[in-house]
A and B are shown apart, each in its own frame.
Chain A
């Protein structure tokens, strides 16, 4: 029980490496170990979350070294929830990806793909849990490297997009390291809490300003915040179909969470230029929300639509950070959770449709609902949630963001929220229209040689996302209460 925070990360990490060996012996065995390890992470993360809710923030010291020398995992209710989210979506994606194994010619590449996918989960979990700025960098790199691989596995265009992402991602990693170096220079510590204490003594505003100028673009690139999103649409679209839900649903959120950590936990509202930084983040968000949606309207490849919509949706999250009140932060995190299921769910649906009919062009989707009613149900509910139609979770995160904006007198943010929903409505209702109303294109089902489709592994993730989108919506107050335990007192008041 006490070691759960470490085991959440260590379990899948060991399984990922073990898989390389086990895969040689038996293909199924390796995968089974991975799936079990991530399932174990999921269960442990639920336990940890329950513990955090009852007893408060957990500080886990790796190897019992004293702080600030050792590495620390810090779990409060916010990242406790995010860890549950990452391991859940990771688990579903692992199941889902089984059906896309036909693309790999040899057993070795197939096994390697599974390992890389698991490493991505490890990286994301580690980034969320860690309380050490350099450890964050390590996990950031694990995440990035495995993401490059998974995107490159998506075929020829995937390789191009992966290379582009690699170039930009390296810039981000370097920027992050530069930012950390500057902060380390003035504080002499790498532990987040310790760093926050020292920075709060004051007198280091110039160095902090310089560091944040590196950190915001670094996280901006990693979360694909406008205007740093250039790599994202093609990378999301052409990534390996089996891994796409995790990449699109979760990968962008964790750097956003890290940005939140820097802004609100390390820097804090006392920082001299804090409001200016928030304004800048706000401007990025506002333009991102509009730009992403406008670009999405012009696409016909459903993956591109969803990728550009992510540029917009990440804007909602950073908009919450930019408004900065506890309610706004709650809204941002609710949107983070909700959007992971919406976008993940939409990519599960896309993957299922692609698996069955081999198309991603929405013009071909005519009345596909007759053949895939469950998938289209999730597609519809996720699309409605994106637009923000009640009682889906998308409405409620918008409500919190909107009411926080109104209470702070940020009328522009409120207006942009409304406009952005309407832009979302244009392309998501177009998608719904294609699925339910357009002429049936009488698509032919894809036939796979020597490859057995496992139906429930396609259906389960789709159903879980459906339930999560409605469940998070109706139970949003519960989530907000949990988030509030940690966010009370954080941020502007």
Chain B
């Protein structure tokens, strides 16, 4: 039994723990009390955190935890390899799973949702797949978990089972399955030409194996799956559509798993399969970088026009994820580290924003920003957290978003690409333009009643204090506090900043 808990088994256990939880919830969910069902989720989440955190010292010391389970196809194993980049994503996903689960319980009960069993089971399944994506050592393993994530997210997107939910489910499947199958074809081509699929920091595809005229095509076949999930324009439209799902699902999609898995996929393909030299030589990185730049601007402008709070946040996510893609495509160590760290920073900030939006929705049933005038009086803590997270998204110093963004900007300057640096600065301002008005509206001091176009816009309900339930409030305060702490001390606790820098250095061969 000693072997079961050895270091190299831990990535397997981290995947297994939520897989087992998903199975248990699905089978027992309707038969046991809801508290027991949620107990499974919480236990699994805590176990997963312990497992993932326990690997930090070893990875920090520079040892890579490797394990080959069995041959999954002829010549290739189902293998895990815990490296610095994977650790960053795994730490975030496992930490946020616990917080999101607590929040989900509050939200789902507060809102009296149906089909909670399926919801929690699918959620656990998503996390299992995410762990697999973090730790996968080769493209086959990666693809298997990537597709499982695609399928496991589908029931969450269609959670309400109405026409709108179905329509966005179709959209989601169309985008992710098509890009996934093309990804598959890309993997097949890589295997046929290079004969290996193991991730190598700095890439393993070379020009003599994959002719340059084909490289660009294969590059986009593979990276396509990543950028669809990451919502890079023009492949983003499933993401706002998926907003019909309950808010914790949006939190999962935007902060914890799905879009981040897309960004992580882009990272692995660009820097661990093709590698900086090949990505540059085939012009793939450059094209992708410009796509990201366009996305950052366009999404910000769309976000400004959205009145639905969740929709505004969705477009904000699209823009923020393109920071990560841009950071990856600048192809310098600092930018790659910044991109990885932005996975962390954005996760905490965006999840705070979504949790706040959800808390508002559950307590007051308000979806639109224009209906939220003065809501800061009723929900001061929620709105304070929202404001702080907004400032963080805008990239102010001493917030988590600053460290990552500064790194990407340094990277862009080092690569002599001032335009990319300028993009980041501008987009910070744009983020402030579309997010801060929400806070301003919320904390507006107002007379008892205000009429605009004959409509009553100030809700008297907001006069009295009434926060969301503790289960919702506490997680969002925690994530908000963490995103500030990480802004002041980026390396706090889990050494995530060190990991990001380690990964960046490993990719570019700097010791």
A404 nearest in chain B by CB position: B192
Report the nearest A residue to B140, measured CB to CB. A399
Distance in Å from the Cβ of B268 to the closest Cβ of chain A?
17
A414-B185, A425-B173, A433-B166 known; A403-B191 Cβ under 8 A: yes
Q: Are B147 and A477 in contact (CB under 8 A)?
A: no
Contacts of B70 in A (CB 8 A): 477
The answer to the question of B238 belonging to the interface, with a C-beta cut-off of 8 Å to chain A, is: no
Kindly state the separation between the CA atoms of A330 and B189 in the bound complex, as whole angstroms.
19
Contact of B73 with A418 in the complex, beta carbons under 8 Å: no
Residues on B with C-beta less than 8 A from A8 are: none
Q: Which residues of B contact A480 (CB under 8 A)?
A: 73-74
Interchain Cβ contacts within 8 Å, total number: 78
Output the least CB separation between A245 and chain B (Å).
Answer: 25
0/1 string, B120-157, CB within 8 A of A gives 1: 00000000000000000000100110011011000100
Is residue A437 within 8 Å, beta carbon to beta carbon, of the partner chain?
yes
> In residues 392-427 of chain A, which contact B (Cβ within 8 Å)?
395-396, 398-400, 402-403, 405-407, 414-415, 417-418, 421-422, 425
Interface bin, chain B: 20 to 34
A121 and B51 CA atoms in complex are apart in Å by 52
Pick the contact of A403: B158, B166, B192 (CB < 8 A): B192
Closest chain B CB from A101 CB (angstroms): 33
Q: A437-B158, A477-B71 are in contact. Are A390 and B188 (CB under 8 A)?
A: no
Inter-chain contacts of B189 with A (CB < 8 A) = 406, 414
Question: Judging by beta carbons under 8 Å apart, are B143 and A390 in contact?
Answer: yes
List 12 A–B pairs whose Cβ atoms lie within 8 Å, in order of A's numbering: A390-B148, A391-B144, A399-B140, A400-B74, A402-B185, A407-B192, A425-B173, A425-B177, A433-B166, A437-B165, A477-B71, A480-B73
B73 A396 Cβ-Cβ under 8 A = yes
Report the separation of the CA atoms of residues A480 and B73 in the bound assembly, to the nearest whole angstrom.
9
Told that A387-B177, A402-B184, A477-B74 touch, could you supply 10 new A-B pairs with CB distance under 8 A? A390-B147, A399-B188, A400-B73, A407-B192, A418-B182, A429-B177, A437-B169, A438-B161, A476-B72, A476-B73
Least CB distance, B183 to chain A, in whole angstroms: 10
> Which of B74, B169, B184, B191 is A418 in contact with, Cβ under 8 Å?
B184
When distances are taken between beta carbons in the complex, the residues of chain A under 8 Å from B50 are: none
Asked whether, in the complex, the Cβ of A389 is within 8 Å of the Cβ of B147, the reply is yes
Q: Evaluate contact between B143 and A406: CB separation under 8 angstroms.
A: no
Kindly name the residue among A388, A391, A407, A418 whose own CB sees the greatest number of chain B CB atoms within 10 A: A418
CA distance A229 to B185 in the complex (A): 28
| A13 interface contact, C-beta 8 A | no
| Residue B368 CB within 8 A of the other chain | no
Question: Is there an interface contact between B151 and A437, defined as CB atoms closer than 8 Å?
Answer: no
- Cβ of A274 within 8 Å of any chain B Cβ, yes or no, is no
- A148-160: CB near B (< 8 Å → 1, else 0) gives 0000000000000
What's the Cα separation between A387 and B178 when bound, in Å? 11
Contact B177 A418 (CB under 8 A): no
| A residues less than 8 Å from B505 (CB atoms) | none
Question: Chain A 437-450 against B: per-residue CB contact (8 Å), 1 yes, 0 no?
Answer: 11000000000000
Q: A476-B73, A477-B70 are known contacts. Are A418 and B185 too (CB-CB below 8 A)?
A: yes
Interface membership of B181, Cβ < 8 A: yes
Is A163 part of the contact surface with B, judged by Cβ < 8 Å? no
Q: Does A327 contact B (CB under 8 A)?
A: yes
Give the Cβ gap from A393 to chain B, nearest Cβ, in Å. 12
Query: In the complex, what residues of A have CB within 8 A of residue B147's CB?
Result: 389-390, 395
Residues of B312-350 at the interface with A, using a CB-CB cut-off of 8 Å, are none
The 5 closest A-B pairs by CB, nearest first: A406-B192, A390-B144, A477-B71, A402-B188, A407-B192
The distance from the CB of B456 to the nearest CB of chain A, in whole angstroms, is 37
- A binding-site residues for B, Cβ under 8 Å: 327, 330, 384, 387-391, 395-396, 398-400, 402-403, 405-407, 414-415, 417-418, 421-422, 425, 429, 433, 436-438, 474, 476-477, 480-481
Q: Identify the closest chain A residue to B162 (Cβ).
A: A437
Q: Kindly identify which residue among A398, A417, A436 contacts B155, using a CB–CB cutoff of 8 Å.
A: A436
Q: How far is the CB of A427 from chain B (nearest CB, A)?
A: 12
Given contacts A384-B151, A403-B188, A406-B191, contact A421 B181 (CB under 8 A): yes
For residue B315, give the distance in angstroms from its CB to the closest CB of chain A.
27
Question: Are B185 and A415 closer than 8 Å at their CB atoms?
Answer: yes
A376 to chain B, nearest CB (A): 12
A82 to chain B, nearest CB (A): 20
- Write the nearest CB–CB distance from B135 to chain A, whole angstroms: 16
| CA–CA, A425 and B181, complex, Å | 11
CA distance A481 to B72 in the complex (A): 12
Verify A414–B188 contact, CB threshold 8 A: yes
Q: In the complex, which residues of chain A have a beta carbon less than 8 angstroms from the beta carbon of B181?
A: 388, 418, 421-422
* B192 (CB) vs chain A CBs: closest residue: A406
When C-beta atoms are compared, the residue in chain B nearest to A411 turns out to be B189
Question: Could you tell me which residues of chain B, from 165 to 197, have a CB within 8 Å of some CB in chain A?
Answer: 165-166, 169, 173, 177-178, 181-182, 184-185, 188-189, 191-193
Q: List chain A residues, Cβ under 8 A from B74.
A: 327, 330, 400, 477, 480-481
Check A437/B191 contact, CB under 8 A, given A422-B181, A425-B173, A429-B173. no
Residues of B within 8 A of A387 (CB): 177
**Nearest-neighbor residue (CB-CB) of B165 within chain A:** A437
Q: Contact check, B144 vs A422: say whether CB atoms are below 8 A apart.
A: no
Task: Give chain B residues whose Cβ lies under 8 Å from the Cβ of A481.
Answer: 74
Q: Is the CB of A406 within 8 A of B188?
A: yes
Report chain A residues within 8 Å CB of B178.
422
In the assembled complex, how far is the CB of residue B397 from the closest CB belonging to chain A, in whole angstroms? 44
A437 and B177 contacting across the interface, CB-CB below 8 Å: no
Which residue in A422, A437, A474 is a CB contact (below 8 Å) of B161?
A437
Give bound CA distance, A108 to B336, whole Å. 76
Asked if B169 and A433 make an inter-chain contact with CB atoms under 8 angstroms apart, the answer reads yes
